[in-house]
Amino acid sequence: MRQLTVTVQGGRLSVVDEGDGPPILLLHAGIVDARAWEPLVPHFVAAGYRAISFDARGFGRSATEDVEFSNRADVVAILDGLGVGKACLVGNSRGGQIAVDTAVEFPERVAALVTIGANIGGYEPEPTPAETALFEEMDRLEASADPETVADFDVRLWVDGIDQPADRVPTAIREAVRAMDRQVGDPGRVFGRPIRLVPPAAERLDALTMPVLAIAGALDVSDVWATARHLEQTCPNARAVLMPAVAHLIALEAPAAVAALIVDLLRPLGRFG
């Protein structure tokens, strides 16, 4: 395992680089940091791939000044800093949207694209009434700036799943996410000001000619499966997979199954990077 820092304009990104072979770059969800990929990484390394994970600006061990920046440019900076020409991008939730945006803006740097429980910019499926109420409650709690309360809510919604019992997921996973979420909610953290992709990705999906795999959990909110199906129907080389009995952080719940899906996607590509 190699730990390094990639310097970007106004910030620095903490990166973990493991294994050898075709590179897979992992982009974490917005309630966690790169540690959320730790159960998944050994499966990639054992399969002969290079797994690169990093903390986005303001998350985990990465830091930023209060500057405007492009998440897409940060991804490219990591690839450049590690000498990677082309990688498979794997993004969960917020990380999935960044991965799609990066693949749209820099398709020549992306060998394959995997979204896990993700939305895409400019595509907004209608939530159910129950989900609308949950999102309104989430906004209210986040406005209160109480990291403990927000973390409790996030674990119930994103880890357990809507209307799921609190013992559905192992305690170790729930507590690991809770600890990362509390750090994300620290009022002293600076996240910078991301520059949105314009036009949004939803209007530019024809750029995604690389293999695309869109994974959603059956216990997740409905828009992630709608998004996965939209990618499958719109992109020329895309497949959507609905995984049963998992919610939003699928790679934490079922790392072996997620790794197998991704390795199956990548094997026909041979060596890249």
Could you tell me if residue 39 is left (phi over 0), alpha (psi between -120 and 50 degrees) or otherwise beta? Answer: alpha
What is the pLDDT, as a whole number, of residue 109? 98
Same-domain pairing of 29 and 102: yes
What is the pLDDT, as a whole number, of residue 144? 80
Q: What is the pLDDT of residues 150-161, one digit of tens each?
A: 999 999 999 999
Same-domain pairing of 174 and 69: no
Mean pLDDT confidence for 203-219:
97
Q: Which domain holds residue 193?
A: 2-124+189-269
Same-domain pairing of 103 and 203: yes
Q: What is the pLDDT of residues 3-18, one digit of tens each?
A: 999 999 999 999 999 9
Instruction: Tell me the C-alpha distance between 119 and 112, whole Å.
Output: 17
Instruction: Tell me the C-alpha distance between 35 and 28, whole Å.
Output: 9
Residue 56 pLDDT grade (very low, low, confident, very high; cuts 50, 70, 90): very high
Same-domain pairing of 171 and 195: no
Tokens representing 148? Answer: 């403990």
Same-domain pairing of 58 and 159: no
What is the pLDDT, as a whole number, of residue 37? 98
Same-domain pairing of 116 and 240: yes
Tokens representing 109? Answer: 């740097």
Same-domain pairing of 196 and 80: yes
Same-domain pairing of 13 and 46: yes
Mean pLDDT confidence for 79-89:
98
CB atoms within 10 A of CB 266: 23
Tokens representing 249? Answer: 């952080």
Residue 141 pLDDT grade (very low, low, confident, very high; cuts 50, 70, 90): confident
Same-domain pairing of 84 and 194: yes
DSSP letters along the chain, please?
-EEEEEEETTEEEEEEEE-SSSEEEEE--TTS-GGGGTTTHHHHHHTT-EEEEEPPTTSTT-EE-S-EE-HHHHHHHHHHHTT-S-EEEEEETHHHHHHHHHHHH-GGGEEEEEEES---TT--PPPPHHHHHHHHHHHHHHHHT-HHHHHHHHIIIIII-TT--TTSS-HHHHHHHHHHHHHHT-TT----EEPPPSS-GGG-GGG--S-EEEEEETTS-HHHHHHHHHHHHHSTTEEEEEETT--S-HHHH-HHHHHHHHHHHHGGG-S--
pLDDT above 90: percentage of residues in the chain: 95
- Tally of domains within the chain: 2
Roughly how many angstroms between the first and final C-alpha of the chain, as a whole number? 18
State yes or no: pLDDT of 145 exceeds 80: no
Q: What angle do CA 170, 251, 244 make, to 5 degrees?
A: 75
Residue 83 pLDDT grade (very low, low, confident, very high; cuts 50, 70, 90): very high
Same-domain pairing of 134 and 232: no
CB atoms within 10 A of CB 273: 18
Mean pLDDT confidence for 97-114:
98
CATH of the domain at 29: 3.40.50.1820
184, 218, 253 — which closes off a domain? 184
What is the pLDDT, as a whole number, of residue 142? 82
Scan for tokens 């982009």, then name that residue. 27
Same-domain pairing of 41 and 107: yes
CA–CA distances in Å: residue 272 to residues 87, 89, 210, 268: 7, 12, 13, 11
Mean pLDDT for the chain overall: 96
184, 219, 252 — which closes off a domain? 184
Instruction: Tell me the C-alpha distance between 88 and 43, whole Å.
Output: 15
Same-domain pairing of 152 and 257: no
169, 184, 199 — which closes off a domain? 184
